[in-house]
Amino acid sequence: MDFMKVKEKLVGPAVSIATPMKDNFEIDLDGLEYNVEYLIDNGFINGKGVIMAVAAAGEAPSLTLEERKNAMKVVAETAKGKVPLVTSAQDPSLDNVIKLAKYAEEVGYDAVQISPPFYFPVNAEVIYQFFEQISRKTDIGIMVYNTPWVNRGYNIDLKLMEKLVKIENIVSFKWRNDNEITYLKAIEKFSSKISFLDNTLSPVPAYILGARMYLAIPANFAPKYSLHIHELLTNRRYEEATKELFKLHIPYYEWINEVEKEGILGEGAIIKAPMKMVGLPSGPARPPYNFILNDKQKKRLHDILKEAGLKVVE
């Protein structure tokens, strides 16, 4: 794989897509195909956006390896090279990570999202060896995902990043950091070498420093809105981009924070609810995270979507 080309392809709003389910909690593969086509038809194409499939937002932790592979394949066959594809190869087992990465390469993905090893404690050497082994045994781009919330608070620092960016397969970082100085300095120092995906509530500082992508969960149900924000950011219209973020992006995440405090956990319910409201295939979340929104929670979300100008069908 030409990793330089992969780095160049990873640009735009990165939408981590939901995995629609049937009422019996089987994956709705037809619905998944429809949603991918919907994103492509609404502008998620090469050079303008990235689709991230079967990741945490797609409930990957609740799926079997075989289900993950089936969903990955449907997305790749539907996209047909029209849009860059990233998928999650997360797993506690290094062997499974490598198997998922090889399968992703086989069916046509550009990169796999992988966090450092989780469950057991980690240090810089463990993390470096982990990614070095994956790189040696695969031929697909790697998006390193800094996940202190699952790594006992461990954050990748500048010294470790200096080593990781020299690994050929590593083409991107999905990036946030508990240390704000490290977060900013990493983008400023390494954005010429890898494609940063900003994973914060505001991508404006990241784009100023050289980031090329931002996590756009609302693109699941408002793709043109997310594409417009990226366009503003790339044209350095930062004030306008900030105002746009406050039309839907920020209110939606504010709603997420509210319902999480009210007991709605997992990513399925919070992403599938607005998708259902605009008429896209969604279905329930996979148990044990199949939380049902109450009427007040639904109304708050409904009002956010309407105020943002979206056509709500229910």
On the 0-12 / 13-18 / 19+ scale of CB atoms within 10 A, 186 is: buried
Position 113 confidence tier, pLDDT thresholds 50, 70, 90: very high
Arithmetic mean of pLDDT, 231-256 = 98
Give 29's contacts (C-beta < 8 A, 6+ positions apart).
70, 71, 74
Summarised one tens digit per residue, pLDDT across range 155-205 is 999 999 999 999 999 999 999 999 999 999 999 999 999 999 999 999 999
Arithmetic mean of pLDDT, 262-289 = 96
On the 0-12 / 13-18 / 19+ scale of CB atoms within 10 A, 236 is: exposed
CATH class for domain 3-253? alpha beta
Helices (DSSP H) in 108-191: which residue ranges?
Answer: 124-137, 158-164, 180-190
Of the candidates 2, 18, 72, 10, the residue with the CA atom closest to the CA atom of residue 44? 10
DSSP letter at 285 equals P
Of the candidates 92, 9, 14, the residue with the CA atom closest to the CA atom of residue 50? 14
Of the candidates 105, 93, 36, 40, the residue with the CA atom closest to the CA atom of residue 69? 105
Mean pLDDT score of the chain:
97
Q: How far apart are CA 33 and CA 55, in angstroms?
A: 16
Question: What does the pLDDT read at residue 55?
Answer: 97
Arithmetic mean of pLDDT, 272-287 = 97
Q: How far apart are CA 100 and CA 106, in angstroms?
A: 10
- Residue 292, pLDDT > 90, answer yes
Flag the least confident range among 107-111, 117-121, 233-237, 257-261: 117-121
Question: What does the pLDDT read at residue 34?
Answer: 98
- Residue 53, pLDDT > 90, answer yes
Q: How far apart are CA 8 and CA 309, in angstroms?
A: 33
| Helix H or strand E segment including 87 | strand 85-88
Arithmetic mean of pLDDT, 84-106 = 97
Q: How far apart are CA 219 and CA 35, in angstroms?
A: 11
Give 281's contacts (C-beta < 8 A, 6+ positions apart).
20, 28, 30, 31, 32, 34, 35, 275
Summarised one tens digit per residue, pLDDT across range 55-85 is 999 999 999 999 999 999 999 999 999 999 9
Residue 158: CB atoms within 10 Å: 14
User: Angle at the Cα of 132 (from 148 to 178), degrees rounded to 5?
Assistant: 15
- Residue 221, pLDDT > 90, answer yes
Arithmetic mean of pLDDT, 254-264 = 97
Summarised one tens digit per residue, pLDDT across range 118-138 is 888 999 999 999 999 999 999
Q: How far apart are CA 118 and CA 107, in angstroms?
A: 26
- Residue 152, pLDDT > 90, answer no
- Residue 314, pLDDT > 80, answer no
Domain boundaries of the chain, sorted by first residue: 3-253
Question: What does the pLDDT read at residue 225?
Answer: 98
